[in-house]
Chains A and B, each alone.
Chain A
Amino acid sequence: MSAELELTVDGIRLRALVTDPSRSLLRVLRDDLGRTGPKEGCDDSECGACMVLVDGRPVNACSFLALQAAGRAITTVEGLAGPDGELSPLQRAFVEGGGIQCGFCTPGMLISATALLAADPDPGDDAIRDALAGNLCRCTGYQPIIAAVRRAAAETAGLTARRD
């Protein structure tokens, strides 16, 4: 069979022709739509490098059928910066705090942390660790990543407080 898949990726409506229904959302994003931000690590939902948001929910794109994403809004790491390319507070905190070394896990880490801060703008360390529990990093030892999420949350809270 072949089906036309229409979905929104980082705010842009896109179409792809899917000829194999077992094709994953990750393959369509990377190979057909040129969105190579999400990475293939384990390809079976263990490592979280492929994480994207589907209608705001964190999803391992490697194990999500592309056709199930029809009509949904997908957010990849490439959709986190502002329209002018300005990094989100979370991205900036990762860069400035050493939350990135080789960078392979970073797209998934940022997506999981973005979902966390959307649901809970002021998470404690336990909540941050829980939110990142499906994302493996073999470089940083995790501490700088947790600190970066904490710092981004504090910075955003500070901005909100000043506005009030």
Chain B
Amino acid sequence: MTEHFAAPTTLDAALALLAADPAARAVAGGTDLVVAARQGRRPLPPSIVAIDRIPELAGAGIDADGSLVLGALVSHAWIASDAAIARSWTALADASAIVGSPATRATGTLGGNLMNASPAAETTAPLVVLDGTVSLRGPAGSERAIAVADLATGPGRTAARAGELLGSVRIPAPASRSGSAYIRLEYRRAMEIAVVGAAVAVTLTSDGAGIAAARVALTAVAPTVVRAPAAEAELTGTVVGWAAFHAAGGAAAASAQPIDDVRASADYRRAMIAVVVARAAAAAIERAAGRPLAVPASRWAPAVDH
């Protein structure tokens, strides 16, 4: 039973409320916390701190060094419609554009998606390959940065300490001749959660024929979103083409440790991770080469070429 509710309008007030009551939980859009309670999966906490009216958490912009900085309250709908994100941090747009339904995207926030720490969270893998970091704000003005790759420590668990809130996400400016894409396997186009997913970010060599650098992250194949170093090695230093994309997919499948559940068997997930990695690599290359490939890549990227 929820006994307390507060809706502070400053970050300091929110942090003080969270520090004063260890059982309190922050809620922004409520698309995870409240929906989980409605579904009977997890009751609402005894004390709720609504953070959706805190302007310090709502900003978005590009810093002097070209980094994209997104406040925790930035919605998926905003991310999916922003021209700069579509151009330079495209995998993130691919992810936010396919979260839930239009209502989920209008209400659900980037900070909530990350702090919910689902192994199937859509925005995590894109932020991992784009080298994102989060700023965790704590009581008495504390602030520390942590890589998105290190934020989730297990399903529903994060490295945030008691009383810490995610303040913002910072993503560095991409190198020239680079591109990124996120692709998920989905059974339907709406109100869906990734069966498996993959984000790939690549940088092409100066002649555009080779891959100078690559990062790969996998969704819903482990207790957290994970990097796939073996897949990255198959892409880096190779000639652009489906041979490299398939090799990366095979390496990712070999390294993944998916589970059986109601949505898919482990074997099926392993087979499909090879496909989504190859497709995401091909889509990221298209964008790195300056050829348009619309958001979301899950819908518009070419099928695998055997």
- Contacts A64-B30, A65-B50; is A130 near B38 (CB within 8 Å)? no
Docked CA distance A133–B27 (Å): 25
**B37 interface neighbour in A1, A3, A22, A135, Cβ under 8 Å:** A22
Instruction: Decide yes or no: A70 and B107 within 8 Å by CB, A44-B38, A133-B102, A133-B190 being known contacts.
Output: no
B106 and A70 contacting across the interface, CB-CB below 8 Å: no
Cα(A134)–Cα(B100), bound, Å: 8
Q: How far apart are the CA atoms of A68 and B26 in the complex, in Å?
A: 12
Q: Identify which of residues 81-109 in chain A touch chain B, using a CB-to-CB cut-off of 8 Å.
A: none
Interface string of B73-111 (1 = CB under 8 A from A): 000010000000000000000000000111110110000
Tally chain A residues at the interface, Cβ within 8 Å. Answer: 31
Is B3 in the interface zone, CB < 8 Å from A? Answer: yes
Q: Shortest beta-carbon distance, A164 to chain B, in Å?
A: 27
Q: Is A62 part of the binding interface, using a Cβ–Cβ cutoff of 8 Å?
A: yes
Q: Are B103 and A45 in contact (CB under 8 A)?
A: yes
Interface residues in A5-58 by Cβ distance below 8 A to B read 20-22, 24, 43-46, 48, 51, 57-58
Q: How far is the CA of A130 from the CA of B97 in the complex (A)?
A: 10
The complex places the Cα of A134 from the Cα of B31 at a distance, in Å, of 13
Partner of B102, one of A3, A44, A70, A131: A131
Instruction: Pick the residue among A44, A59, A65 that contacts B106 (CB under 8 A).
Output: A59
A63 near B31 with CB under 8 A, answer yes
- B interface size (C-beta, 8 A): 29
Known: A63-B38, A64-B30, A65-B30. A58 touches B103 (CB 8 A): yes
Q: Which of A24, A64, A67 contacts B107 (CB 8 A)?
A: A64
How many angstroms between the C-alpha atoms of A44 and B37 in the bound complex?
Answer: 8
Does B39 lie at the interface of the complex (its beta carbon under 8 Å from any beta carbon of A)? yes
Instruction: Enumerate chain B residues within 8 angstroms of A76, measured Cβ to Cβ.
Output: none
Contact B189 A133 (CB under 8 A): yes
Q: Nearest Cβ in chain B — how far from A39, in angstroms?
A: 15
Chain A residues contacting B5 (CB-CB under 8 Å) are 1, 3, 21, 65, 67
* Pair A1/B3 contact, Cβ less than 8 Å: yes
Provide the residues of chain A in CB contact with B107, threshold 8 Å: 57, 59-60, 64
Asked if A63 and B48 make an inter-chain contact with CB atoms under 8 angstroms apart, the answer reads no
Would you give 17 A-B contacts (Cβ < 8 Å), ordered by A?
Answer: A21-B2, A21-B3, A21-B5, A22-B1, A44-B35, A48-B101, A57-B77, A57-B107, A58-B102, A59-B103, A59-B106, A62-B38, A67-B7, A68-B7, A68-B52, A115-B102, A134-B191
